[in-house]
Structure 1
Amino acid sequence: MKIALIGYGKMGKAIEEIAVAKGHEIVLKIDAYNLDEFTAENLAKADVAIEFTSPHSAVENIKKCISFGVPVVSGSTGWLKQWDEVKGFVEEHNGALLYASNYSIGVNIFFELNRLLAKMMSAHTGYNVALEEIHHTEKKDAPSGTAITLAEGVMEFVKAKKQWVNHISDNEDDLEIISERIDPAPGTHKIKYHSSIDDIEIIHTAHNRKGFAGGAVLAAEYIVGKRGIFSMKEVLGL
């Protein structure tokens, strides 16, 4: 498989290492210093593009790849207010996009565990639920996309929570997400149900970027030759 890396920071380099070890070829690397090489001609060499950039450039990068006929695996977060716009663009161009807020296999299992626990806790009104997330100081968005996905999973079943907020709140309708930025933390997410009697909590802690990068390569292998909108649920059969 021939891969174009759109974004060649720490994550791009981790993806490259795993992809090459699996026998894939990196045919294009785009970062802020060679944007002039982000062309249809260069993208035509790739079977798939893996896009890990910033909230400010992700949408344009995805659209560019789709318009050039290249399926995209995107892991950029912080841009989902434009999700409907991007989804419509992909459908209009009969393209393929696989988006996940987190590509780690463990985290995607954690997403499902979170939803299962929320479903079980929904009948027990004596508990209050809150989220915590810790990332490195280079993390550009807060809360993390992973934390937002977890919050949405909780609110799907715990109907007392109407919206998430990124601060401590006295409003019982608010689902708190408390964000910390501490080096060199790759990512920790905790969901805690608290009552006067006991606490129930589940935690996922990443030790390095390999889990995210490996999942992104797995997603790229999955999407080649497909059309439509996909997630890690399809990749992992969850």
Structure 2
Amino acid sequence: MGTPFPHVHDPLVPVHLDHPIYQQDRMRLFLDTWTWYDFCATQDFAYGTRFHGNVAALLGGTPAMLLAHDSRTLELAEHHQMPFTLMPSFTADVRAEELYAATDLTAFNSELPRGFDRYTAFLERNGLQHIWGEGNGTGDFDERLAAATFPRPVQPLIASDGHEIASRLKWLRDGMVLDITRHPQAYEPPFAHPPWNGAGSRHARIQAQTAEKLAGQKGQIDELYARLERIERRSPWGFTQRVLRRIRRAFGRP
């Protein structure tokens, strides 16, 4: 909606409208993996700390260098033989041309067929059919994929032709309609949703704990009231009140 991202106050992070990357319309949010791969295929090089971003580039046929900044990213890179460089912190001067020159895909290209064989063997060992098995699949996946229509990537609101503003205004309008009534184009699940009785949920546990606490408090309150009544009956004031009530009843007064 064009508002700064909450809790991020560093002006170097591109989460506000004034950032150069935002102003230059150099940000994209992909709503489908295939458009992501296609975009990566148009680029010369990719690098960064996000593992899946580098995977998308490699699947698009673009060289990629993973900046391994923790044990998880390092383990993934070593397992898949992806090009990586250790980057535990960003105090060093990172230059894209140097990362590109250091990117060697020889080990990755050699490991990829072996990884594919391990994956399909795992499926078959567990009795799971897949499209690469003999006799499975129709063989027209690539043709059907090429004929499919995917949503375009989301651009910043600064996009020059105004389509992003119109798209988000439509999203707001559709959301308002959905809030008011069930939209005719809404997704209908093919099965009835099971009724929710709250059993086992966090909400149900809180309700049970609250009810138990209230019951305990009610018992304490009842006990205190009984003690007060006993004290009142034993006090001189209580004795006087009882005598007066008896005198009133004797003379027929309330």
The TM-score normalised by the length of structure 1 is 0.28
Bigger proportion of residues as helix? 2
Bigger proportion of residues as strand? 1
The TM-score normalised by the length of structure 2 is 0.26
Greater radius of gyration (CA): 2
